[in-house]
Amino acid sequence: MQDSNIDVLIRGSSMSGKSSLELGWEGLALERRIAGPHFRVEETLDQHYGLLWCGQPTVADRAYRNNRFSRVIKQPGTLSLGAAGILPAVHARSAYDVIAFVIDPQVAEQVMQESECANRVSLHEHLGIADKSLAYLVQLAAQEALESGASGRLYGESIALAIITRFVLLASQKGIPAPKQTALPSHLLHRVLDKIASEYSEDLSLAEMAIESGYSRAHFIRMFRAATGRTPHAYLLEVRLDRARHELLHCRSTLAEIANANGFSSHSHLTRAFQARFGVSPSEFRRIK
């Protein structure tokens, strides 16, 4: 794929990491994008698209019929999928952290004709769906782009084809059920997330976060997981790893200093968690960035 509409899809965003465009995968372009609160007018997109929501829950107002806006909350780990055509206006109330991908409609059509979807001619929009298979494939592709195609062209193009095939399968279906609504009330969820965002480097306890929500620890764990798709510990670890990754990219601190500044008990603790999350050690990540 020689170009993409990701800039159209997420106006005013900046790329975090590297683009798959440099690797020349057929039919697919993928990039991790970050954007602050913003407003996007109605646009026309000539490629199919998908967004894997990362980081914290994302709040936005989206235009529907008669140009009326409705509030949506995108939970981390869920996906938004859409076909080429009109992109409704969106007012993002919070920051975006997404892995965005666009698909050449001609390649998608070819995949559709070669697969069991041959008779499904229409692709449908799905907002905030949970599909572990596609989410995993998108994360693998983002990691391969970040590593500049270290595993080779065949590996990258195989993942790209798998993403397109899974996209076609999902988007050709109607009525994919959305994940359950936030269990923890949004104002309480934001209080807890704000506490995590400001104190992630501290030794936060479950009791402290539960007190912030006003619920018992047991209730808080269940309601937090329903709201974010993760346990409080997993969410806190993700925030710490994202901050550590940012510092590895943008500062010259030692790994021990980065571990200490981001709430890890030791250099080895950071290394184990980073390797498990990103597939490379912090030192390797810094070297290949």
What does each of the 289 residues of the chain score in pLDDT, given as a tens digit?
Answer: 666 789 989 988 999 989 999 999 999 999 999 999 888 888 899 999 999 999 888 888 888 655 677 778 888 999 999 999 988 888 888 889 999 999 999 999 988 887 655 555 688 888 889 999 999 999 999 999 999 999 998 999 999 999 999 999 999 887 655 444 457 888 889 999 999 999 999 988 888 999 998 888 878 888 888 888 788 998 999 999 999 999 998 888 999 999 999 999 898 999 999 988 888 899 988 887 6
Angle at 127 between CA 178 and CA 220, to 5 degrees: 50
Give Cα separations from 118 to 46, 105, 121, 167 (angstroms): 21, 14, 7, 14
Looking at domain 186-288, its CATH superfamily turns out to be Homeodomain-like (1.10.10.60)
Report domain extents, the chain.
Answer: 6-171, 186-288
CB-side exposure of 183: number of CA atoms within 13 Å? 15
CATH superfamily, region 6-171? Jelly Rolls (2.60.120.10)
CB of 72 closer than 8 Å to CB of 60: yes
List all residues 6 or more positions away from 272 whose beta carbon is below 8 Å from its beta carbon: none
